[in-house]
Amino acid sequence: MTNEFERAVVTCINRYFTKHRMKGFAYRLKQAHFNTQYVDIIVDSLDPSFYLAIECKSVKGKRLSFTSNFHRDKDNVHQIDNISGFLKYTGRRGFLAVEFRGNGLKNEAYLMPWEIVLAFFTSQASISIDEFRKCTPLERTSYGYHIVDFKPFPSD
């Protein structure tokens, strides 16, 4: 289920690059059982604002929980902390892509900047779908997800 969403996000971002005639490429990182994978998707571009790392979550319901939807590694480090370290080390801009399934209507998906995810992580146990609706929507079309307007923040 999550792998399907990851593929859909990669296709969506690459479609965005093609449509806007931008140089950039999104790709999924291969998962290996005993290797650490910090994020699901890497985006490379000559435009520094599109030098991205994206973690994907597909959840049932209307909330993303920091305990049940994320994991801790063998050293008991929370996934949010691992991703934050990866972003700091690489200089990539981080996003959390979340697909909300089973809400009675069609699935909804959004991209939330990592800075906002961190603010919620330090103050709440979860993030509601309403908070994600304030971020970049991934619109569902007959050919998959589509980004209408995607402006990642410029790199610091």
pLDDT tens digits for 34-77? 566 789 999 999 888 899 999 999 999 899 999 999 888 888 88
Looking at every residue in the chain, the average pLDDT score rounds to 89
pTM: 0.90
35 part of a folded domain: yes
153 part of a folded domain: no
Q: Closest Cα partner for 54 from 136, 144, 120, 148?
A: 136
154 part of a folded domain: no
Q: Closest Cα partner for 44 from 29, 24, 27?
A: 24
Confidence label for 104 from pLDDT (cuts 50, 70 and 90): low
Radius of gyration of the chain measured on its C-alpha atoms: 15
Domain count, the chain: 1
> CA 108, CA 128: separation in Å to the nearest integer?
12
62 part of a folded domain: yes
103 part of a folded domain: yes
What range does the domain containing 64 cover?
2-146
